[in-house]
Amino acid sequence: MNKTGSLILLLIALNIATSQIITIPIEKRVPEVENNSFLDDNEQAAIDQLINHSQFMYSGNIEVGNSKQTFNVDFDTGSNLLWLTSKSCSTCHQDGFKNSYDCNVADGCNMTTTPGSVSYVDGSGVFGHIAKVPVAIAGLAPSTQALLLVEKSVKNKGLQSDGLMGLGVYDEHNSNNVAFVNQLFKQGTISKSQFSFYLGFGEKESELIIGGVDNSKLANPSEIYYHPIILNGQQNDSQRWSVAIKSVSFGGQSVSLTSQNVAIVDSGTSLLVMRNDIYKQWIQYLKSVASLKTIMSGLTVFYSVKCGTTLPDLTFTLTDVNGVDRNYSLPSSFYLVKNGNICIIGVQGGSVTNDVQFLLGDVFMRRFVSVFDYTTLSMGLSQSVANPANAPNKAQKHSIESTIALGLALVAIAGLIFLTIRALRK
């Protein structure tokens, strides 16, 4: 074995020895398409139905209360709050939530009078009050956590999980605004204040890792680069996991950006959302090298290509903590989302809201293992071993409908990022 190889092995061994990493298996949920209501000549009906579904999320289990009741939640780096439904919520039953949490003192749960809510851009939302309850993950020691107990659910049909866990930088409803993972670190449950995601293409291979990084998921464990989080000086929910993008490149073109052009690495966004003008420029370029088919869903435009087409890479350049520019390139096998025999470009244009101009969602996160570090307030990225060939290739009798489902769900999901902007607070 060469020197570099041994050094890498040694580093891996040291890493394992010095930091305990906790792996939480997460599942990739694929939309459940209800067959019979689809008519090929009635796309609008399909759209109306599917816009209510929030799909393609990655979810895993947490344990709540002294009784350690298990709930399956979506893990969302784009928001802060943990929410589950309460027993008394009749709209939650209507929206298909199956497991509610019954907050009572015997289970270690205290209700507060603080209202809380989360609103999605598509008009859906959850409303209720904050409880304080022990929350654990992967059998670790629990920490007291703020929990939004939902009393009213609006348009969340088809969410498929029991709720959502925000994994933001801060959590305003917790004491000292400390977020869940950072709390586990502060109480000594984990040895490094960070978490990371490995998002695979298969339905069962993905992982949320608490307290470190799973080196076996990195294409090259020596190549992980950290990027500073852009700090807004406020240690509350308004601080996000935002990084600056220096440029976006494709073909021979490169669009330069400034530190005002913020991207969020967001597990709650299924696609990749790009500032509209750059998106249009990119699509224009793709049209010059391949044949693109337009698919409208509502006001949002998506494009598909003939499956088997290879398109040029889409590259994001970010400056690391040492001032070195790092290129993160998405091959088309990563940004094309295959559904049956239709291959959609999994990137959409987005209008500029404040400074957030890019949502590097699951399409990006499958290519790069992403590390969220509370101690250094930085974000690590490293090429993943995820393989597009592992994507489940379900025989699609209803491929057109599924395709529309895909596009739409994503519009809804993209809304998750705006949760904290709209969250009401007392």
Ligand X SMILES: *[C@@H]1O[C@H](CO)[C@@H](O)[C@H](O)[C@H]1NC(C)=O
Minimum CB distance to ligand X, residue 209 (Å): 26
CA–CA separation, 42 and 281 (whole Å): 32
CA–CA separation, 278 and 165 (whole Å): 31
Nearest to 31 by CA among 425, 409, 413: 409
Structure tokens at 41: 């000549």
The one segment of 39-47, 230-238, 331-339, 362-370 that binds ligand X by CB under 6 A: 230-238
According to CB under 6 A, which residues from 64 to 83 bind ligand X?
none
The one segment of 23-31, 32-40, 213-221, 304-312 that binds ligand X by CB under 6 A: 32-40
Q: Are 297 and 408 in contact (CB under 8 A)?
A: yes
Q: Are 406 and 54 in contact (CB under 8 A)?
A: no
CA–CA separation, 136 and 63 (whole Å): 5
237 binds ligand X (CB under 6 A): yes
According to CB under 6 A, which residues from 321 to 350 bind ligand X?
327
234 binds ligand X (CB under 6 A): yes
132 binds ligand X (CB under 6 A): yes
Q: What DSSP line would sit under 29-63, residue for residue?
A: --PPPPSTT--TT-HHHHHHHHTT---S-EEEEEE
236 binds ligand X (CB under 6 A): yes
Question: 19, 69, 112, 155: which one contacts ligand X (CB under 6 A)?
Answer: 155
CA–CA separation, 112 and 101 (whole Å): 15
Question: 23, 61, 144, 276: which one contacts ligand X (CB under 6 A)?
Answer: 144
**Total residue length of the chain:** 426
> Which 8-state DSSP code applies to residue 107?
G
Whether 76 sits among the annotated catalytic residues: the reply is yes
Question: 2, 35, 288, 351: which one contacts ligand X (CB under 6 A)?
Answer: 35
Minimum CB distance to ligand X, residue 398 (Å): 8
The one segment of 20-28, 132-140, 375-383, 387-395 that binds ligand X by CB under 6 A: 132-140
Minimum CB distance to ligand X, residue 231 (Å): 13
Q: Are 164 and 79 in contact (CB under 8 A)?
A: yes
Nearest to 163 by CA among 243, 88, 64: 64
Minimum CB distance to ligand X, residue 410 (Å): 16
Question: 242, 249, 267, 270: which one contacts ligand X (CB under 6 A)?
Answer: 249
If the CB atoms of residues 58 and 316 are measured against ligand X, the closer one turns out to be 316
Quick note: the x/- pattern for ligand X over 303-322, rule CB under 6 A, is ------------x-x-----
Which one is catalytic: 74, 76, 237, 362? Answer: 76
If the CB atoms of residues 116 and 212 are measured against ligand X, the closer one turns out to be 116
Q: Are 148 and 81 in contact (CB under 8 A)?
A: yes
Whether 107 sits among the annotated catalytic residues: the reply is no
- Residues in binding contact with ligand X, number by CB under 6 A: 25
CA–CA separation, 403 and 421 (whole Å): 30
Output Rg (C-alpha) for the chain, integer angstroms. 21
CA–CA separation, 249 and 174 (whole Å): 40
115 binds ligand X (CB under 6 A): no
Element (H, E) at 243: strand 242-244
- What are the residues binding ligand X (CB under 6 A)? 32, 34-35, 48-49, 52, 108, 110, 132-134, 144, 155, 157, 234, 236-238, 249, 254, 315, 317, 327, 420, 425
- Catalytic residue positions? 76, 266
